[in-house]
A and B are shown apart, each in its own frame.
Chain A
Amino acid sequence: MDRIPILKLGKYLLVTIQVDLYDRLALTLETDLISMVKKNEARGVLIDISAVGIVDSFMGRILGNIAQMSKIMDAETVVVGMQPAVAITLVELGLTLKGVHTALDVDKGMLLLNKRTDNNREAGIDD
């Protein structure tokens, strides 16, 4: 069965989505991701959708789920690389991707994660 690879990037995890997400694949991704967050005590998750041409409400829900689950495990999620056509379509569709932070690319995504996880530390949420 296909699996979407998850890479470790320091204290963060990087997921690059390059295929159409269907039900089972998406569920597997959620499961794999959340167990890896736990295993590595990851502080953040980067989801690279620069190769994704279509984001519908199903995909939007998956992204939202991942963000929520990670947050519960104390990891921040940032979605990077959204294509312009996708952004335009999502706005028209009315999909807000609430709870999902975005950045232009992986580099900026990491900067954002650094900032957000630092903030958490400052707020005394960390040990």
Chain B
Amino acid sequence: MINLSKEVFRIQKEQDVILFRNRLREMAVRIGMSLVNQTKLITAASELVRNMLKYAGSGTATIEIVSVDRKTGLRIVFEDKGPGIEDLRLAMQDGYSTSRSLGLGLPGAKRLVNEFNIKSVVGEGTTITVLRWKNG
């Protein structure tokens, strides 16, 4: 993979979410991501970063432009040192709805991206990595 550009965001309060979202939009536009893919990615990122704020209090979100073969996309890594998720399988299970305030919206976010990876250790923290190609 060839990494072309990377930006790290500290998320500590609500305003940081908005800044992060705007920068994400800018980067997505810069690499020529289609509007629908942009919307999907930013919506998924929005869910994940709000989760981070809500459950871990703070964390970092790193956006990277990645390029493999002839595909270009954005990879975002959400990292926090929060309580961690006890039952990952349950969290990834889905009633196909994120309207419950208890739900983490993870399965929904997963559907909106091309690649989704989650690592979580109770008491230590959570790392979620998502990737969306600019096309497809």
Contacts and interface: CB of A to CB of B under 8 A. Distances in A.
**Direct A–B contact in the complex, CB atoms closer than 8 angstroms:** yes
Interface of A: 20, 22-24, 53-58, 60-61, 64, 83-86, 88-89, 92-96, 98
Chain B, interface size category, equals: 20 to 34
B111 A93 contact: yes
A92 B110 CA distance: 10
A24 B50 CA distance: 14
A94 B96 contact: yes
Given A60-B99, A64-B99, A93 B108 contact: yes
A94 B14 contact: no
What DSSP secondary structure best describes chain B's contact surface? helix
6 contacts: A53-B39, A54-B43, A84-B36, A88-B39, A89-B39, A94-B94
Given A61-B101, A95-B98, A95-B99, A55 B43 contact: yes
A56 B47 contact: yes
Given A22-B14, A92-B112, A94-B107, 7 more contacts: A53-B25, A53-B39, A54-B39, A93-B108, A93-B109, A95-B99, A98-B99
Contacts, number: 76
Contact of B39 (A24, A85, A96): A85
Interface of B: 14-15, 17-18, 21, 25, 35-36, 38-40, 42-44, 46-47, 50, 94, 96-99, 101, 105, 107-109, 111-112
Nearest to A95: B98
B18 A22 contact: yes
A56 B107 CA distance: 14
B45 to A, nearest CB: 9
